[in-house]
Every structure is written in C-alpha cells, then in structure tokens.
Amino acid sequence: MYYNRGRLKKHKKDKTKRMNLMIEELFRNIFRCEVPLPNNPLRALNSYVIKGEDENLIIDTGFNCKESQEAFIKNLIELQVDIPKSKVVITHLHSDHSGLAHLVFKRGGQIYMSRGDGAATKGLMKEDNWIAMKKQLEAFGQRVEGGFFDKHPGRLYAPNEDFDYTPIEEGETISIGDYKLEIIAVPGHTPHMINLYEPQHKIYFSGDHILNPITPNIGFWGFQYPVILNQYIHSLKKISSLDINLTLPSHRNVIRDHRGRIDELIAHHEIRLQEVENILREAERSMTVVEVAEGMSWKIPFDSWASFPPPQKSFALGEAMSHLEFLVYKNRATLKKEKGLLLFSV
C-alpha cells in the first residue's frame, strides 16, 4: 500500500523503487515515512512507524528544522499516529535521526536511546562539545577559524531544547502489536548505535549501520573508543549471522540480501585501507591526517580539498583518521605526536 497525502492507492510495482511517495507500507503495519533533509547530500531520512492497536513505535525523527518537522508531523497525521501513544526509538545521535527529540518529548512521546548516544545527543547543545572537536581537528592539521562549525548539521539541526529519554541496551525488547523487537548494539557509525531486529518476521531496522547503495561514514570518535573501524567491521559480521529477509535502513533503498551488502561494505573498507596505506608509502615521510585526506578519493562534487565545505571536511577527516588508526592497530602504519599534531608514516 502507498499513502499519498489523503488517498490510499494500491500498486503492483515494487514499492522499494517509488521514493516519490512520502509513506510506504513495506510490511503489515510497518511504514517507511520519508522525511526531507534540506541542504544535505543524504536528501531524506527513512523514519519508520509500526502501528499497534493501542500503541505505536516510531524509529528516528529527522533534522530540527521546518522542512523535517512538517513532514514528520504530517506523516504521523496521515497514519493517525498520536505521539503521546508512541514509543520513539532513536538509533543514534546524529541530528538527522535525533533532531526532533525535544519536540517528541514536549508532545508526550516516550524516547528510547542507548545511554551513550543519548548523553552525546544532549552534548551537542553544549559549547564544550565543539571546543573538543576543534582541538581534535587541529590535531589532524586542520585550521579551524571563525564560523567553521556554523553549518555543521550536528550544530545546526540538533535538538535545541532539553529532553528526557529511557536508556535501552542490547538484550532488551520492545513489543508493538504483532512485533517483538530486540535491541542490537552495533558500535561503529557511532560508538553506541543501536538497531532493532524482529526475529519472527525476519525484519531488521539497520539505522545507518547498513545502507544501500551509499556507504556509512565511519569517523573517529576519540581514542577512548579504540579502533572504531574495527568495531564497525565486527558489528557487520555480527549482523551477518542473523536470519533476515528484509533490512530497513535509514537512507535510500531497502536491502533484500544483507549478507551480500555486508560483504560489499567490508570490501569497500579493505580497498580504502589499501588506498590510505599507499598514500603514506608514496609520501615517504610523516603525514598529517589532512594531508592523507587530501590524497584520498571522495565521491562528492568538489574539485579540490580547498573547496570542501567545512562540514564535509570534518566528516572526511574523521573517516581518514579511522582508517589510519586501523592501519596502526594492524602494524601497517606508525603514529607519533609532534607539536600537537598526529603524524602517520609506514
């Protein structure tokens, strides 16, 4: 079934290919609701709604901005879902998932997050978070001046009011209607990201853990979360063992073959690691993270590193650093600290 602003239509075509409609019923009482993400290469969030008789489940919200908020609320109205009668699971801290947490809380929804990402989401509102990020980027060799973070989505679209949430962790379950969803911990894209798995119907809500056809950004979250890329790969292999027929990601297309997609993602990072190692080897000297990132290939429409907008530089540097850290972990590169800079070589 497809819901298209006030009228219900049935279609014989593959539902997964019709992204022009805002709401799609992918499985009985499970709806994918598109929420636009303005001025962002991701374009839209797949927010999911599971309808029960007396209670509903909403998975992720969208940016804290007018366009996302209006679509999020309209989708719920279309589905006749009341926020006060809903549990809202936020898979991780990024603002395209958590941005409307304060709105949901103010309207009576019960929010569930992992303890770590819940605390980090609240931290996005604190200046200390951005001071720490500035220091980290400077250690990578990036100059951070003026309004460098002004257009960063984590600052621009994060919740701007406080909210309460109920911490959830792996092993707990949430029941809605005919569905009993297990919480799965999948550190990698963020240190404390969670997914949801419905084993009876073999449905998996993957958040940003498994995407198709785009590749999740695996950034560096600090040495307190050691070798985050290795954690991500372990999380992928963990999910590969599950019996899944339908994987519902937070962006782009549904996934019918999760194991095949996981193999592709692991292969992508193996290629990326070799690319970074080759950059270090060809330089024959120690390099900053910025210098490595400048030599990496990026699938974004900018001609040079200098033309990257500051948010894209932040994400690219985090990805470069996570791969450099992995190479050091595997004894394929070395790290030294000199005058406040992290320097890598082979």
What's the sign of the alpha-carbon dihedral 259, 260, 262, 263? Answer: positive
Q: What is the pLDDT of residue 311?
A: 95
Q: What angle do CA 170, 174, 178 make, to 5 degrees?
A: 135
**In this model, does residue 299 exceed pLDDT 90?**
no
94-145 pLDDT per residue, tens: 999 999 999 999 999 999 999 999 999 999 999 999 999 999 999 999 999 9
Q: What is the pLDDT of residue 230?
A: 98
The band of 161, judged by pLDDT with boundaries at 50, 70 and 90, is very high
| Residue-wise burial string across 246-274, b where 16 or more C-beta atoms lie within 10 A, e elsewhere | bbbbbbbbbbeebeebbeebeeebeebbe
**In this model, does residue 265 exceed pLDDT 70?**
yes
CA–CA distance, 321 with 341 (Å, rounded to integer): 12
Q: What is the mean pLDDT of the chain?
A: 93
**In this model, does residue 2 exceed pLDDT 90?**
no
> Residues 212, 249: contact at Cβ < 8 Å?
yes
Q: From residue 183, give the alpha-carbon distance in Å to each of 33, 55, 88, 91, 175.
A: 21, 18, 13, 10, 11
Query: Closest by alpha carbon to 181, among 172, 189, 190?
Result: 172
Please state, for a pLDDT cut of 90, what percent of the chain lies above it. 91
- Between these two residues, 7 and 133, which has the higher pLDDT value? 133
Q: What is the pLDDT of residue 301?
A: 81
Question: Which CATH code is given to the segment(s) 2-274?
Answer: 3.60.15.10
Phi and psi at residue 198, in whole multiples of 5°?
-110, 95
**What residues does each domain of the chain span?**
2-274
Q: Which of 28-42, 48-62, 299-313 is least confident?
A: 299-313
**In this model, does residue 10 exceed pLDDT 50?**
no
Mean per-residue pLDDT, 215-234: 98
**In this model, does residue 343 exceed pLDDT 50?**
yes
**In this model, does residue 1 exceed pLDDT 70?**
no
Count of CB atoms within 10 A of residue 7's CB? 7
Q: What is the pLDDT of residue 259?
A: 98
Tell me which H or E stretch contains 199: none
- Between these two residues, 8 and 322, which has the higher pLDDT value? 322
Q: What is the pLDDT of residue 21?
A: 52
- Between these two residues, 19 and 121, which has the higher pLDDT value? 121
Q: Which tokens in the block code for residue 19?
A: 């992204």
CA–CA distance, 216 with 208 (Å, rounded to integer): 6
Mean per-residue pLDDT, 163-189: 97
CA–CA distance, 254 with 241 (Å, rounded to integer): 19
Mean per-residue pLDDT, 82-104: 98
Mean per-residue pLDDT, 67-88: 97
Total-model pTM: 0.92
Please state, for a pLDDT cut of 70, what percent of the chain lies above it. 94
Q: What is the pLDDT of residue 45?
A: 98
